[in-house]
Amino acid sequence: MDRLRKLIDPVRLLDGLDWLEEWNRRQSPFLRIPLGLLFCLGGVFSILPVLGLWMLPVGLLMLSEDIPWLRDRRERFEGWLRRVLGETRARRQARLEHKKGY
């Protein structure tokens, strides 16, 4: 269970999103759009060994920089995720302080 929790660590997820967003901003749309489409196409063919369903969200994140409709959805999702993580972090901190007896 700890291994799974470490793998799906929300802070790691946010760091990955920030890194991808920064990389996306630095690249040309002539690189982002074909790469995003290729990742989405690879996500559709997820039954093949190397390609996987993980490629679909990565492709959509790449395309979201150039497509306003996707950009709005991405920004709403990131805001929601940051709110949830802030609440989770505060609850975890309160639980640790309660256990220590502060």
Q: List, for residues 21-79, the tens digit of each pLDDT value.
A: 788 778 788 888 898 899 898 888 877 777 788 888 888 888 888 889 988 998 898 88
For helices 68-100 and 10-26, the axis angle rounded to 10 degrees is 150
Question: What residues make up the domain containing 40?
Answer: 2-100
pTM above 0.75, yes or no: no
Distance in angstroms (rounded) separating the CA atoms of residues 28 and 68: 16
What is the rounded distance in angstroms from the CA atom of residue 91 to the CA atom of residue 83? Answer: 12
Q: How far apart are CA 40 and CA 34, in angstroms?
A: 10
Token duo for residue 6: 């470490």
Say which residues have a Cβ less than 8 Å from residue 45's Cβ, sequence separation at least 6. Answer: 51
